[in-house]
């Protein structure tokens, strides 16, 4: 039987491809974004407590209220945003699910969604499955900043959604408050919603502050803001995240959510609620923790032929390898993994084919690793 593909242009995600290549060739995996150290000990203890404490059945579809209440306290303290935990906060099985739910709640066949290339690779497939069309606008290297005049020109009567991502994966850039002002001006009095992917909210460096869409009074009411427990608490394998949106948007979001996963892991939600209560300092210390790793990794690479500017956010570092090779980034990343034992992520898979830069030589390294891992990887990279 021949099945007609709903995603004929989509293959296996680059993260799986490069992690599998790293495993096959016993390479140091600086490609896929997960730490090689564990989540906090107290969080593990709380998880054990609830796993063995009969918290193993279905939690409420939107998530346990204790966790949603902790989230509302957090965003009020950080972003001066008051959210109703009952009607405006939803726990999801990872940010990928939250993105999928928000896209499908927002658009239908014939609608257009603006995304910015290089864009996280789950956006376009979810848009395609909804029947809408992704409109890809390119971020120009090396700043990878948004050209808001270009955005304004791209708006049509079919534009229903714009997806922004800050701190940005894969580029490590961050949006400023002026960017949100520009976005608000463009979509003012238009029937256009926003998805703000903010999963790296606590990884912003060099004295910058994360500018959440929740902090923007005009945009917050027409936006889905998506955050990640996995990124924040070094537990990416838990696949837990949350979405904050106005009650009207959340109502539509939950209609999709209930038929995608219905609900998410119960005992982990209880553990996270307690940990947020007991250890609020974890999030406030995270930027310093990862900036130290960024600085260490960049210092190690200073003796290499790679060119770089320290990332402004996330736990990713872009490097320019043009002084080493003229190969395309996918070819260079494969060679680096197989021949030199260090896996990285090329940027090409984050672009719509017509947007791929002709002479770009950027790859992305992940520095959320133990210092010993970074030292060994850097030693191999400096030998090039």
pLDDT of residue 26: 96
328 and 262 together in one domain: no
Same domain, 25 and 52: no
Question: 146 lies in a domain?
Answer: yes
Q: What's the rounded Cα separation, in Å, for the pair 279 and 181?
A: 34
The CATH number of residue 248's host domain is: 3.40.640.10
Q: Would you tell me how many other CB atoms lie within 10 Å of the CB of residue 233?
A: 23
Among residues 278, 298, 315, which one ends one of the domains?
278
Q: How far is CA 364 from CA 214, 216, 237, 329, in A?
A: 29, 30, 21, 10
Q: Within a domain: residue 6? A: no
Q: What are phi and psi of 227, to 5 degrees?
A: -130, 165
Domain match, 215 and 177 both: yes
8 inside domain? no
321 plus 264 within the same structural domain: no
pLDDT at 108: 97
Dihedral-angle region of residue 336 (phi above 0 means left; psi in -120 to 50 means alpha; beta otherwise): alpha
**pTM above 0.75?**
yes
Which helix or strand (DSSP H or E) is residue 329 part of? helix 329-340
Is residue 230 domain-shared with residue 142, that is, in the same domain? yes
Residue 2: predicted pLDDT: 79
**Does the residue 47 lie in any domain?**
yes
Residue 359 falls within a domain, yes or no? yes
CA–CA gap between residue 329 and residue 326 (Å, rounded): 9
CATH code: domain of residue 289: 3.90.1150.10
- E strand residue ranges, the chain: 28-29, 89-92, 112-117, 133-138, 159-165, 193-197, 223-228, 241-244, 316-320, 342-343, 345-346, 362-366
Tell me the residue range of the domain where 143 lies. Answer: 41-278
**Can you give the three-state secondary structure of 7-21, one letter per residue?**
CCCCCCCHHHHHHHH
Q: Of the candidates 215, 243, 278, which is a domain's last residue?
A: 278
Residues 166 and 73 in one domain: yes
Q: Are 291 and 360 part of one and the same domain?
A: yes
**Does residue 199 share a domain with residue 153?**
yes
β-bridge mates for residue 223, sequence order = 194
- Residue 5 covered by a domain: no
Asked whether residue 7 is domain-assigned, the answer is no
Which residue, among 126, 132, 225, 125, has the nearest Cα to 175 in the 3D structure? 225
315 shares its domain with 331: yes
Q: What is the pLDDT of residue 148?
A: 98
Are residues 220 and 84 both part of a single domain?
A: yes
- pLDDT at position 174, please? 98
- 119 and 202 both lie in a single domain: yes
| Nearest-10 crossing angle of helices 65-79, 266-278 | 40
DSSP β-ladder status, 223-228 and 28-29: unpaired
**What is residue 48's three-state secondary structure?**
helix
- Structural domain count, the chain: 2
Per-residue pLDDT of the chain (384 residues), as tens digits, is 778 899 988 889 999 999 999 999 999 999 999 999 999 999 999 999 999 999 999 999 999 999 999 999 999 999 999 999 999 999 999 999 999 999 999 999 999 999 999 999 999 999 999 999 999 999 988 999 999 999 999 999 999 999 999 999 999 999 999 999 999 999 999 999 999 999 999 999 999 999 999 999 999 999 999 999 999 999 999 999 999 999 999 999 999 999 999 999 999 999 999 999 999 999 999 999 999 999 999 999 999 999 999 999 999 999 999 999 999 999 999 999 999 999 999 999 999 998 998 888 999 999 999 999 999 999 999 999
pLDDT value, residue 358 = 85
Task: Using alpha carbons, list the distances in angstroms from residue 329 to 332, 333, 366.
Answer: 5, 6, 16
Model pLDDT, residue 373: 97
Which of 226, 250, 278 is the C-terminal boundary of a domain? Answer: 278
Q: What is each CA distance from 190 to 147, 157, 179, 216, 319, in whole angstroms?
A: 19, 9, 18, 17, 39
As a whole number of angstroms, the distance between CA 121 and CA 123 comes to 6
What is the spatial distance between Cα 44 and Cα 92, in angstroms, rounded to a whole number? 20
Evaluate whether residue 300 is within a structural domain: yes
Same domain, 211 and 301: no
pLDDT of residue 9: 86
Q: What CA–CA distance (Å, rounded) separates 50 from 340?
A: 44
How many whole angstroms separate alpha carbon 50 and alpha carbon 7? 40
């Amino acid at each position: 039987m021949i099945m007609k593909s709903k995603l004929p242009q989509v293959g296996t995600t680059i993260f799986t491809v490069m992690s599998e290549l790293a495993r096959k060739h016993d390479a140091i995996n600086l490609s896929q974004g997960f730490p090689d150290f564990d989540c906090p000990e107290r969080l593990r203890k709380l998880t054990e407590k609830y796993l063995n404490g009969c918290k193993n059945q279905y939690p409420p579809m939107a998530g346990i209220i204790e966790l949603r209440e902790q989230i509302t306290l957090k965003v009020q303290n950080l972003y001066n945003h008051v959210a109703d935990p009952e009607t405006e906060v939803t726990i999801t099985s990872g940010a990928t699910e939250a993105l999928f739910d928000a896209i499908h709640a927002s658009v239908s066949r014939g609608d257009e969604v603006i995304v910015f290339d290089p864009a996280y690779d789950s956006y376009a497939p979810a848009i395609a499955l909804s029947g809408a069309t992704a409109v890809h606008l390119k971020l120009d290297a090396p700043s990878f900043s948004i050209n808001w005049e270009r955005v304004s020109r791209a708006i049509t009567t079919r534009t229903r959604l714009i997806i922004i991502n800050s701190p940005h994966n894969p580029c490590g850039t961050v949006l400023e408050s002026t960017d949100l002002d520009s976005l608000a001006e463009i979509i003012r009095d238009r029937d256009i919603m926003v998805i703000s992917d903010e999963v790296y909210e606590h990884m912003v460096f060099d004295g910058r502050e994360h500018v959440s869409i929740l902090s923007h009074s005009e945009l917050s009411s027409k936006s889905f803001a998506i955050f990640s427990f996995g990124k924040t608490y070094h537990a990416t394998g838990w696949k837990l995240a949350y979405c904050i949106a106005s009650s009207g948007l959340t109502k539509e979001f939950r209609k999709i959510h209930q038929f995608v996963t219905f609900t998410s892991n119960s005992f982990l939600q209880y553990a996270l609620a307690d940990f947020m209560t007991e250890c609020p300092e974890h999030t406030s210390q995270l930027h310093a923790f990862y900036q130290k790793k960024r600085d260490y990794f960049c210092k190690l690479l200073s003796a290499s032929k790679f060119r770089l500017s320290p990332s402004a956010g996330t736990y990713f570092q872009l490097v320019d390898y043009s002084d080493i090779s003229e190969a395309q980034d996918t070819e260079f990343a494969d060679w680096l993994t197989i021949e030199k034992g260090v896996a990285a992520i090329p940027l090409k898979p984050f672009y719509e084919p017509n947007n791929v830069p002709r002479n770009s030589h950027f790859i992305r390294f992940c520095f959320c690793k133990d210092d010993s891992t970074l030292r060994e990887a850097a030693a191999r990279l400096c030998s090039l």
